Amino acid sequence: MRKAERVQFILDTLEKLYPEVPIPLDHSDAYTLLIAVLLSAQCTDKRVNLITPSLFAKANNPSEMVKLTIEEIREIIKPCGLSPFKSKAIFDLSQIILDKHNGQVPETFEDLEALPGVGHKTASVVMSQAFGVPAFPVDTHIHRLAERWKLTSGKNVEQTEKDLKRLTPKELWNKVHLQIIFYGREYCPARGHVVENCPICKAIQL
């Protein structure tokens, strides 16, 4: 199977299995999505979704968030890990959004990535899922599957993102990255992967 055929087969399979893809992180707007994505670093989406209701009940917008102390935020988000870093980032980015962006989450990669605790992947998720701007957020899971499917030889997520953007239609980026995440969880895990139970790996026989 040539690379172009492999890419098309993968896209077709993902679309067949996941015609609708919900956003894994519970949120109500761009701000709550931004906070949830920041919390998801080195933490499962499932755990983030258990923690955010308590946080958002106290503060679901920047002006409410800065009324809390960093320590109060930290106590709530502790189960997500990296709580000293994440709590300070949440407080500081909320203050910046109030001071520089009139209380609204900025809608450019540049402004998002300038916020504390917000890297390119987090900015990409917010741009794609909150604002509908084509982006291809690549986390370690997508990077792993892209390597497994020989879609990239990238040694890092930055190169993998470039390769996946080159290989897939721009209008599909926002959906495909979610489809790959769901597929990886269900059929193509890092450990205990059984090729016979994985429709894509079984068919392309790498």
Domain CATH for 179? 1.10.1670.10
Q: Tell me the pLDDT tens digit for each residue of 136-173.
A: 999 888 999 999 999 998 889 999 999 999 999 999 99
pLDDT, position 206: 54
- pTM for this structure? 0.92
Quick check: is 29 catalytic? no
Please check whether residues 77 and 157 belong to one and the same domain.
no
Do residues 125 and 55 both lie within one domain? yes
Digit-coded pLDDT (tens) for 95-135:
999 999 999 999 999 999 999 999 999 999 999 999 999 99
pLDDT in tens, 12-64: 999 999 999 999 999 999 999 999 999 999 999 999 999 999 999 999 999 99
| pLDDT tens sequence across 7-19 | 999 999 999 999 9
Residues of the domain holding 81:
30-129
Domain stops at, among 85, 109, 129: 129
Tally the domains of the chain.
2
Is 12 a catalytic site residue? no
Question: Which of 86, 139, 163, 175 does the annotation list as catalytic?
Answer: 139
Using the 3D structure, point to which of 129, 151, 183 is the last residue of a domain: 129
Q: Please pick, among 29, 45, 121, 170, the residue that the annotation labels catalytic.
A: 121
If asked whether residues 114 and 158 sit together in one domain, one would say no
HEC string of the chain?
CCHHHHHHHHHHHHHHHCCCCCCCCCCCCHHHHHHHHHHCCCCCHHHHHHHHHHHHHHCCCHHHHCCCCHHHHHHHHHHHCCHHHHHHHHHHHHHHHHHHCCCCCCCCHHHHHCCCCCCHHHHHHHHHHCCCCCCCCCCHHHHHHHHHCCCCCCCCHHHHHHHHHHHCCHHHHHHHHHHHHHHHHHCCCCCCCCHHHCHHHHHHCC
Q: Which of 76, 109, 129 is the last residue of a domain?
A: 129
